[in-house]
Protein backbone atom coordinates (compact mmCIF):
# COMPACT_ATOMS: atom_id res chain seq x y z
CA UNK A 1 0.00 0.00 0.00
CA UNK A 2 1.25 3.47 -0.90
CA UNK A 3 1.97 5.64 2.13
CA UNK A 4 0.89 9.26 1.78
CA UNK A 5 2.02 12.31 3.70
CA UNK A 6 0.12 15.57 4.00
CA UNK A 7 1.77 18.79 5.20
CA UNK A 8 -0.27 21.89 6.01
CA UNK A 9 -3.73 21.55 7.53
CA UNK A 10 -5.42 24.89 6.98
CA UNK A 11 -8.86 25.36 5.45
CA UNK A 12 -7.92 23.45 2.31
CA UNK A 13 -5.34 20.98 3.54
CA UNK A 14 -7.47 19.72 6.41
CA UNK A 15 -10.36 18.83 4.09
CA UNK A 16 -8.11 17.27 1.47
CA UNK A 17 -6.27 15.10 4.00
CA UNK A 18 -9.59 14.08 5.57
CA UNK A 19 -10.79 12.80 2.21
CA UNK A 20 -7.67 10.67 1.80
CA UNK A 21 -8.15 9.25 5.29
CA UNK A 22 -11.82 8.66 4.60
CA UNK A 23 -10.84 6.56 1.58
CA UNK A 24 -8.86 4.27 3.93
CA UNK A 25 -5.48 5.35 2.62
CA UNK A 26 -2.38 5.27 4.83
CA UNK A 27 -1.86 8.96 5.67
CA UNK A 28 0.66 10.72 7.90
CA UNK A 29 -0.01 14.37 8.70
CA UNK A 30 2.02 17.32 9.94
CA UNK A 31 1.23 20.95 10.67
CA UNK A 32 3.17 23.74 12.37
CA UNK A 33 0.35 23.92 14.92
CA UNK A 34 0.18 20.36 16.21
CA UNK A 35 -3.37 20.76 17.53
CA UNK A 36 -4.68 20.95 13.96
CA UNK A 37 -3.42 17.42 13.37
CA UNK A 38 -5.29 15.79 16.22
CA UNK A 39 -8.80 15.56 14.68
CA UNK A 40 -7.25 13.79 11.68
CA UNK A 41 -5.24 11.50 13.94
CA UNK A 42 -8.52 10.58 15.64
CA UNK A 43 -9.88 9.71 12.17
CA UNK A 44 -6.97 7.32 11.56
CA UNK A 45 -3.98 9.37 10.41
CA UNK A 46 -0.48 8.98 11.81
CA UNK A 47 1.30 12.01 13.24
CA UNK A 48 4.62 13.14 11.80
CA UNK A 49 7.20 14.99 13.89
CA UNK A 50 8.55 17.12 11.04
CA UNK A 51 8.12 17.58 7.29
CA UNK A 52 11.39 15.72 6.73
CA UNK A 53 10.25 12.78 8.83
CA UNK A 54 6.93 12.59 6.96
CA UNK A 55 8.77 12.59 3.63
CA UNK A 56 11.11 9.85 4.87
CA UNK A 57 8.23 7.66 6.00
CA UNK A 58 5.93 8.20 3.01
CA UNK A 59 6.07 7.35 -0.68
CA UNK A 60 4.14 10.42 -1.86
CA UNK A 61 3.94 13.59 0.24
CA UNK A 62 1.46 16.39 -0.46
CA UNK A 63 1.86 19.96 0.80
CA UNK A 64 -0.71 22.76 1.01
CA UNK A 65 0.61 26.03 2.45
CA UNK A 66 -0.25 29.68 2.04
CA UNK A 67 2.32 31.31 -0.23
CA UNK A 68 5.78 31.04 -1.85
CA UNK A 69 7.59 31.97 1.38
CA UNK A 70 5.79 29.24 3.32
CA UNK A 71 6.36 26.71 0.55
CA UNK A 72 10.07 27.54 0.45
CA UNK A 73 10.41 27.35 4.24
CA UNK A 74 8.54 24.04 4.42
CA UNK A 75 10.85 22.52 1.85
CA UNK A 76 14.29 23.99 2.55
CA UNK A 77 14.39 24.74 6.30
CA UNK A 78 16.14 22.41 8.72
CA UNK A 79 13.86 19.44 9.24
CA UNK A 80 12.03 20.31 6.05
CA UNK A 81 10.94 18.17 3.14
CA UNK A 82 14.38 18.24 1.52
CA UNK A 83 15.88 16.44 4.53
CA UNK A 84 13.68 13.43 3.83
CA UNK A 85 13.93 13.49 0.05
CA UNK A 86 15.75 10.78 -1.87
CA UNK A 87 15.34 8.04 -4.49
CA UNK A 88 11.88 6.53 -4.38
CA UNK A 89 10.37 9.59 -2.70
CA UNK A 90 7.84 11.88 -4.34
CA UNK A 91 6.67 15.38 -3.46
CA UNK A 92 3.49 17.08 -4.71
CA UNK A 93 3.03 20.75 -3.85
CA UNK A 94 -0.63 21.73 -4.20
CA UNK A 95 -0.01 25.26 -2.87
CA UNK A 96 -0.44 28.34 -5.07
CA UNK A 97 3.03 29.75 -5.68
CA UNK A 98 4.88 31.53 -8.46
CA UNK A 99 6.50 29.48 -11.24
CA UNK A 100 10.04 30.29 -10.05
CA UNK A 101 9.33 28.77 -6.62
CA UNK A 102 7.99 25.58 -8.21
CA UNK A 103 11.00 25.33 -10.48
CA UNK A 104 13.44 25.84 -7.60
CA UNK A 105 11.79 23.10 -5.54
CA UNK A 106 11.62 20.79 -8.57
CA UNK A 107 15.34 21.13 -9.18
CA UNK A 108 16.14 20.37 -5.54
CA UNK A 109 13.92 17.28 -5.55
CA UNK A 110 15.52 15.96 -8.75
CA UNK A 111 19.00 16.59 -7.35
CA UNK A 112 18.18 14.22 -4.47
CA UNK A 113 16.83 11.57 -6.83
CA UNK A 114 13.14 12.16 -6.08
CA UNK A 115 10.15 13.08 -8.22
CA UNK A 116 8.22 16.36 -8.11
CA UNK A 117 4.79 17.47 -9.24
CA UNK A 118 3.28 20.90 -8.82
CA UNK A 119 -0.49 20.62 -8.55
CA UNK A 120 -2.20 23.84 -7.44
CA UNK A 121 -5.96 23.56 -7.18
CA UNK A 122 -8.97 25.55 -8.25
CA UNK A 123 -11.74 25.52 -5.68
CA UNK A 124 -12.14 26.64 -2.09
CA UNK A 125 -13.42 25.18 1.19
CA UNK A 126 -16.60 23.47 -0.03
CA UNK A 127 -15.02 21.79 -3.09
CA UNK A 128 -12.13 20.67 -0.86
CA UNK A 129 -14.61 19.11 1.56
CA UNK A 130 -16.64 17.54 -1.27
CA UNK A 131 -13.62 16.21 -3.14
CA UNK A 132 -14.43 18.25 -6.25
CA UNK A 133 -11.24 20.29 -6.64
CA UNK A 134 -9.48 20.69 -9.99
CA UNK A 135 -5.74 19.99 -10.04
CA UNK A 136 -3.44 21.90 -12.41
CA UNK A 137 -0.37 19.70 -12.61
CA UNK A 138 3.05 19.85 -14.22
CA UNK A 139 6.38 18.20 -13.61
CA UNK A 140 7.06 14.45 -13.49
CA UNK A 141 4.43 12.70 -15.61
CA UNK A 142 5.09 9.31 -14.01
CA UNK A 143 4.29 10.83 -10.61
CA UNK A 144 1.14 12.35 -12.06
CA UNK A 145 0.05 8.87 -13.10
CA UNK A 146 1.01 7.28 -9.77
CA UNK A 147 -0.78 9.98 -7.79
CA UNK A 148 -3.92 9.94 -9.95
CA UNK A 149 -5.92 7.68 -7.58
CA UNK A 150 -5.29 10.10 -4.68
CA UNK A 151 -5.99 13.13 -6.87
CA UNK A 152 -9.28 11.52 -7.92
CA UNK A 153 -10.30 11.21 -4.26
CA UNK A 154 -9.62 14.89 -3.62
CA UNK A 155 -10.78 16.31 -6.95
CA UNK A 156 -13.08 15.89 -9.92
CA UNK A 157 -10.54 16.63 -12.66
CA UNK A 158 -6.77 16.78 -13.08
CA UNK A 159 -4.91 18.49 -15.92
CA UNK A 160 -1.28 17.84 -16.82
CA UNK A 161 1.03 20.38 -18.49
CA UNK A 162 4.45 19.31 -19.69
CA UNK A 163 6.68 22.06 -18.33
CA UNK A 164 7.28 22.64 -14.63
CA UNK A 165 5.84 26.04 -13.74
CA UNK A 166 2.89 25.83 -16.10
CA UNK A 167 0.61 24.53 -13.34
CA UNK A 168 1.45 27.61 -11.29
CA UNK A 169 0.98 29.85 -14.32
CA UNK A 170 -2.44 28.37 -15.05
CA UNK A 171 -3.53 28.78 -11.42
CA UNK A 172 -2.49 32.44 -11.38
CA UNK A 173 -4.37 33.11 -14.64
CA UNK A 174 -7.50 31.45 -13.24
CA UNK A 175 -7.38 33.30 -9.92
CA UNK A 176 -6.62 36.61 -11.62
CA UNK A 177 -9.80 36.18 -13.67
CA UNK A 178 -11.81 35.13 -10.61
CA UNK A 179 -10.51 37.98 -8.48
CA UNK A 180 -11.29 40.55 -11.16
CA UNK A 181 -14.75 39.07 -11.71
CA UNK A 182 -15.50 39.42 -8.01
CA UNK A 183 -14.69 43.14 -7.97
CA UNK A 184 -16.91 43.76 -11.02
CA UNK A 185 -19.66 41.72 -9.36
CA UNK A 186 -19.32 43.76 -6.17
CA UNK A 187 -19.47 47.02 -8.10
CA UNK A 188 -22.64 45.84 -9.83
CA UNK A 189 -24.30 44.98 -6.51
CA UNK A 190 -23.20 48.32 -5.05
CA UNK A 191 -24.52 50.32 -8.01
CA UNK A 192 -27.78 48.41 -7.98
CA UNK A 193 -28.22 49.11 -4.29
CA UNK A 194 -27.71 52.86 -4.89
CA UNK A 195 -30.43 52.86 -7.53
CA UNK A 196 -32.88 50.91 -5.35
CA UNK A 197 -32.51 47.53 -7.04
CA UNK A 198 -32.38 44.66 -4.58
CA UNK A 199 -29.53 42.18 -4.61
CA UNK A 200 -32.07 39.37 -4.92
CA UNK A 201 -33.48 40.85 -8.10
CA UNK A 202 -30.03 41.41 -9.57
CA UNK A 203 -29.04 37.82 -8.79
CA UNK A 204 -32.25 36.47 -10.29
CA UNK A 205 -31.63 38.35 -13.53
CA UNK A 206 -27.96 37.33 -13.70
CA UNK A 207 -28.95 33.68 -13.23
CA UNK A 208 -30.90 33.80 -16.50
CA UNK A 209 -28.18 35.32 -18.64
CA UNK A 210 -24.85 34.53 -20.24
CA UNK A 211 -22.76 35.53 -17.20
CA UNK A 212 -24.50 33.13 -14.81
CA UNK A 213 -21.83 31.19 -12.93
CA UNK A 214 -21.36 29.19 -9.71
CA UNK A 215 -19.39 31.95 -7.97
CA UNK A 216 -22.14 34.52 -8.38
CA UNK A 217 -24.80 32.01 -7.31
CA UNK A 218 -22.86 31.02 -4.19
CA UNK A 219 -21.37 34.33 -3.11
CA UNK A 220 -24.15 36.71 -4.13
CA UNK A 221 -26.72 35.78 -1.44
CA UNK A 222 -23.98 35.78 1.19
CA UNK A 223 -22.70 39.19 0.15
CA UNK A 224 -26.25 40.58 0.19
CA UNK A 225 -26.43 39.55 3.87
CA UNK A 226 -22.93 40.88 4.69
CA UNK A 227 -21.88 37.29 5.31
CA UNK A 228 -18.17 37.00 4.58
CA UNK A 229 -17.51 33.67 6.31
CA UNK A 230 -14.15 32.53 5.01
CA UNK A 231 -13.97 29.92 2.27
CA UNK A 232 -10.98 31.53 0.51
CA UNK A 233 -9.22 34.25 2.55
CA UNK A 234 -9.00 37.69 1.00
CA UNK A 235 -5.28 37.89 1.81
CA UNK A 236 -4.69 34.78 -0.32
CA UNK A 237 -6.62 36.25 -3.23
CA UNK A 238 -4.61 39.46 -2.99
CA UNK A 239 -1.43 37.37 -2.93
CA UNK A 240 -2.50 35.56 -6.08
CA UNK A 241 -3.42 38.83 -7.80
CA UNK A 242 0.01 40.20 -6.90
CA UNK A 243 1.77 37.11 -8.26
CA UNK A 244 -0.28 37.28 -11.48
CA UNK A 245 0.70 40.94 -11.94
CA UNK A 246 4.35 40.06 -11.37
CA UNK A 247 4.10 37.27 -13.94
CA UNK A 248 2.47 39.66 -16.41
CA UNK A 249 5.30 42.13 -15.92
CA UNK A 250 7.85 39.41 -16.71
CA UNK A 251 6.07 38.68 -19.99
CA UNK A 252 5.31 42.31 -20.87
CA UNK A 253 1.55 41.87 -20.71
CA UNK A 254 -0.47 44.80 -19.29
CA UNK A 255 -3.30 43.81 -16.93
CA UNK A 256 -5.38 46.96 -16.65
CA UNK A 257 -8.50 45.62 -14.93
CA UNK A 258 -6.61 43.12 -12.78
CA UNK A 259 -4.34 45.90 -11.53
CA UNK A 260 -7.33 47.99 -10.49
CA UNK A 261 -8.95 44.95 -8.83
CA UNK A 262 -5.76 44.23 -6.90
CA UNK A 263 -5.85 47.72 -5.43
CA UNK A 264 -9.32 47.01 -4.01
CA UNK A 265 -8.08 43.82 -2.35
CA UNK A 266 -5.14 45.72 -0.90
CA UNK A 267 -7.52 48.39 0.42
CA UNK A 268 -9.70 45.84 2.19
CA UNK A 269 -6.72 43.84 3.49
CA UNK A 270 -5.29 46.99 5.08
CA UNK A 271 -8.73 47.84 6.51
CA UNK A 272 -8.73 44.59 8.51
CA UNK A 273 -10.43 42.17 6.13
CA UNK A 274 -7.42 39.98 5.38
CA UNK A 275 -8.85 36.85 6.98
CA UNK A 276 -12.41 37.27 5.76
CA UNK A 277 -13.60 35.67 2.54
CA UNK A 278 -12.33 37.31 -0.64
CA UNK A 279 -15.89 38.44 -1.36
CA UNK A 280 -15.36 40.96 1.46
CA UNK A 281 -13.73 43.12 -1.22
CA UNK A 282 -17.31 44.43 -1.53
CA UNK A 283 -16.66 46.42 1.63
CA UNK A 284 -13.79 48.25 -0.03
CA UNK A 285 -16.11 49.13 -2.91
CA UNK A 286 -18.91 50.57 -0.78
CA UNK A 287 -16.75 52.08 1.96
Q: Please give the positions annotated as active site.
A: 171
- Residue 116's φ and ψ, nearest 5 degrees, are -130, 140
Distances (CA, A) of 51 to 58, 84, 90: 11, 8, 13
Q: What is the 3-state secondary structure (H, E, C) of the chain?
A: CCEEEEECCCHHHHHHHHHHHHCCCEEEEECCCHHHHHHHHHCCCEECCCHHHHHHHCCEEEECCCCHHHHHHHHHCCCCHHHHCCCCCEEEECCCCCHHHHHHHHHHHHHCCCEEEECCEECCHHHHHHCCEEEEEEECHHHHHHHHHHHHHHEEEEEEECCCCHHHHHHHHHHHHHHHHHHHHHHHHHHHHHHCCCHHHHHHHHCCCCCCCHHHHHHHHHHHCCCCCCCCEHHHHHHHHHHHHHHHHHHCCCCHHHHHHHHHHHHHHHHHHCCCEHHHHHHHHHC
Question: Are residues 232 and 265 in contact, defined by beta-carbon separation less than 8 angstroms?
Answer: no
Amino acid sequence: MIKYGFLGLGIMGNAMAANLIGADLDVTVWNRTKAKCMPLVEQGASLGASPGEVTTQCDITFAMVSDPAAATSLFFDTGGVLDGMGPGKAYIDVSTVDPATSQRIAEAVKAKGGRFLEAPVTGSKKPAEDGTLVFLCSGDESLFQDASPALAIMGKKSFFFNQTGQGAQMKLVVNMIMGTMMTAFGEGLALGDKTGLTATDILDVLAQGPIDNPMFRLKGPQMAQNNFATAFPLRHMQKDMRLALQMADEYGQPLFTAGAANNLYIKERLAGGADEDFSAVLKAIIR
